[in-house]
Amino acid sequence: MTPSPPRRTLVAVHAHPDDEALLTAGTMARAAAQGHRVVLVLATDGGLGLAAAGFHGGEDLATVRLREAHASAAALGVSRIEWLGYADSGLGDDLYADPPGGVRFVNAPVAQAAERLADILREESADVLLSYDRNGGYGHRDHVQVHAVAAAAAALAATPRLLEATIPRDLLVAGIRLSGMVYRYPPEFDRDAFTRAYSARREITHRIDVRRYAAAKRAAMRAHASQATADGGDRTLAAFLRIPRPVFDLVFGREWYIDPAHPPGAPISRDIFAGLA
């Protein structure tokens, strides 16, 4: 008889509730469907996210967003969800002061946050940790901090593999240019910023086919309803959810990663667990 493949543990660390739905949801759903344990770790509560006034009915936005993250996690088959306890650092030039009794993630010492994450990695005997590339994707300060914290935590916990979620920059820019011909992006959407964001195609080490899990990825996006609307109209997440399913499956059917330890010149991997002892 052919032995069953080992059951692995995948931990995905994200800056805010909804980031998991956009960047790694397909990989997480695929791992869960294959019988692996999947853990979602959120660095911040997302309390400074944009949302339409009155959307949360007076309830604290951070509470709403953490609840949405649990709904997203359920759609993906996540076994455990944890929050590192930090406050959202916000997007923009101005950095708000730390909230009473809390610390904005960007103000947290990397060593402190890394130890909190490493504790979870040790508890879970994690095989793979998903993080962000060195640009923090599109450059949000909390995403850049996640990159640094995850690298330190993986070293502390001796996690066998660290994969940095990204998108091939040239593919992304081309997609935005084409979609802009038929869709008017919201005012806060800076198309030019993406020419400096994410990573070059040549840096990609893992390309994961998640088309079979596109429905779960779409459900995870839908769970973050607070981030689909703003006072100026629909946000980018709402536009993604309006894409017809066949096109959605094509657009969101691949996820990409960089393994900092990947041997130069090695072929692209299509399995995040391949080659693990």
The pLDDT tens digits for 50-103 are 776 666 566 788 899 999 999 999 999 999 999 999 999 998 888 999 999 999
Task: Over range 158-162, report the average pLDDT.
Answer: 98
What is the predicted pLDDT for the residue at 173?
73
**Is residue 155 a part of any domain in this protein?**
yes
What is the predicted pLDDT for the residue at 235?
73
What is the predicted pLDDT for the residue at 57?
61
**Is residue 16 a part of any domain in this protein?**
yes
pLDDT in tens, 172-185: 777 666 666 655 66
The residue range of the domain holding 20 is 9-258
What phi and psi, each to the nearest 5 degrees, are found at residue 193? -60, -25
What is the predicted pLDDT for the residue at 178?
64
**Is residue 266 a part of any domain in this protein?**
no
Split into its structural domains, the chain has a count of 1
What is the predicted pLDDT for the residue at 251?
86
pLDDT band at 160 (very low <50, low <70, confident <90, very high): very high
**Is residue 274 a part of any domain in this protein?**
no
Instruction: Single out the residue of 136, 101, 163, 193 nearest to residue 16, CA to CA.
Output: 136
**Is residue 17 a part of any domain in this protein?**
yes
CATH of the domain at 203: 3.40.50.10320
What is the predicted pLDDT for the residue at 52?
64
**Is residue 220 a part of any domain in this protein?**
yes
What is the predicted pLDDT for the residue at 233?
58
CA distance 43 to 75: 20
What is the predicted pLDDT for the residue at 73?
98
**Is residue 23 a part of any domain in this protein?**
yes
What is the predicted pLDDT for the residue at 93?
83
The DSSP H or E segment spanning 142 is helix 141-157
Q: How many angstroms separate the Cα of 193 from the Cα of each of 36, 139, 168? A: 36, 9, 14
What is the dihedral angle through the alpha carbons of 19, 27, 43, 134, rounded to the nearest 10 degrees?
A: -80
pLDDT in tens, 11-51: 999 999 999 999 999 999 999 999 999 999 999 999 988 77
**Is residue 79 a part of any domain in this protein?**
yes
What is the predicted pLDDT for the residue at 183?
58
pLDDT in tens, 96-144: 999 999 999 999 999 999 999 999 999 999 999 999 999 999 899 999 9
pLDDT in tens, 215-237: 999 999 999 988 887 655 567 78
